[in-house]
A and B are shown apart, each in its own frame.
Chain A
């Protein structure tokens, strides 16, 4: 036989209060999950472009911040690594902003431009793989437009003519990419057109170097070799590291991390206050009983354990519905906004630990009252 589970029985005895407490914890858990979910979704959306870039290793300038704010570096660096064993193909990628005029409203707005050699399979989008598309890209002053560009950029019909940086430009086709946080809209053009639009920038200065590997090659090994061959004016990253580096930039150097971090902190405090209220009321109602336990010979440590147990039970009982509702709301959000919001095991575990920590803090704050219960006052 074991010790009487006083903490659990005390909580179960007051059913209404228990339901309120569970709802409170679940609410706090839900808020934390939603904040983390939105943060994760926004960070994922900033790096969504990489999913469509068909490269295993990326070369960037050390002064580049993230994909939309790159610093150009010499194209020779790309050719220097082209001969390394395991490298299948190297491809330059040029990126710039271009003022695109909406032909309907005649208002110009900054559009993000990717420029590639049309023969290079830089992007995975199926629309760009056909011979017709490659031929279209090779035509002077012709661009492909992203269907997910904001509507403010105007119509996207093939053949439509408008003006960009004082040059006439024709839409040669569409693709689906999405610019995430970095860009309101994107275009893809050939490197020759890039030379026309962005003169005097030479094609020998590239924004990003893309490397495709022979299938089955260990990317980390090739990256290490490249680092030994290249001067320090270029960073070599695997695709995963490149994405992590961009995410880190958005999280740490923009408002995103702060806003959602604050959201998590506020939810955490809301949770602490709710649990504190419940535990405090419970302790106040049982003060005479707790004092009696002390008179019987139980020490403060036992009361401490009881309150802490109650808070951890509340944490777990509240976490479960909080998690289930969050999963449902993630699904709802995904359907409504197409934001890449998803639950992952790391978040499930870390929020569980955070919830237990949250309830323990409440327990520790409210336990003082129980520990100071004076058995002499019971008489």
Chain B
């Protein structure tokens, strides 16, 4: 096994980037349960996600990827270490404060989780309403749905949309409030090859255009190429952190590496 390395960034820019990073994690530990039932799932995580980067997190089932994602998303409260999201320390925040933090984060789930009773536009408007912009919510929803290519599906209910279209509505909902950080968990898992491809290309395009940070958990090898950086989590520890190019060479199918099976 290789030793874990920390080669994310060239030294010169590192300090400035850290100050302005979307996510900055230091010595984060996390465990489920208490007392005898206490089970640690994350060990000493150190990770910095600068702005505008698309990061893919891989790792075997049970390695703690989703736990890390929910911690960053302020969906769980961390107790140990430091976790700065969008320049705010969220370790030790109350539930009410965590809810506030979440409003600046876009979530994309494996399932689309759209309300069947609402149209595509209304589902997106539910997100706009959080900002209190009731007057323009319809326009904002239509604009973002147009961007994801659903201009003519605005008033359709999820029942009448395909899997890929539903996931695009979910992406529109996550993006409509211009969050600076987007967290996605297996966004392509429920989609066929082409729809999956379209969805990540769309995310990549929006991230690049608007300088968003995307952290995506995926097992889907077909979409690794959109990443600027790939991190690998094994048994709760950050096992590797590489640029796409390094990842591709070390994971070349011709060079049969043991780590191939971990992925």
Contact = CB atoms under 8 A, between A and B. Distances in A.
Contacts of B129: 3-4
Contacts of A379: 66, 69-70, 75, 109-110, 185
A79 interface: no
B177 to A, nearest CB: 9
Contacts of B102: 294-297, 375
A4 B118 CA distance: 9
B134 A1 contact: yes
Given A4-B129, A6-B118, 8 more contacts: A6-B126, A10-B115, A288-B111, A292-B107, A292-B109, A298-B99, A375-B102, A379-B66
A296 B75 contact: no
Interface in B99-150: 99-100, 102-103, 107, 109-111, 113-118, 122, 125-127, 129-130, 134-135, 137-138
B109 A378 contact: yes
A13 interface: yes
13 contacts: A1-B134, A1-B135, A9-B117, A10-B115, A12-B117, A288-B111, A292-B107, A292-B109, A294-B102, A296-B173, A297-B103, A375-B102, A378-B111
A24 to B, nearest CB: 20
Among A4, A289, A378, the most chain B Cβ lie within 10 Å of the Cβ of: A4
B229 to A, nearest CB: 21
Nearest to B134: A1
A297 B66 contact: no
Interface of A: 1-4, 6, 9-10, 12-14, 286, 288-289, 291-299, 374-376, 378-379
Contacts of B114: 289
Interface residues of B, number: 33
Given A295-B75, A296-B127, A297-B130, A13 B69 contact: no
Nearest to B133: A1
A294 B73 CA distance: 11
A376 B70 contact: yes
Interface of B: 66, 69-70, 73, 75-76, 96, 99-100, 102-103, 107, 109-111, 113-118, 122, 125-127, 129-130, 134-135, 137-138, 173, 185
A307 to B, nearest CB: 14
Contact of B76 (A12, A296, A376): A376
B96 A299 contact: yes
Contacts of B113: 288-289, 291-292, 378
A236 B135 CA distance: 67
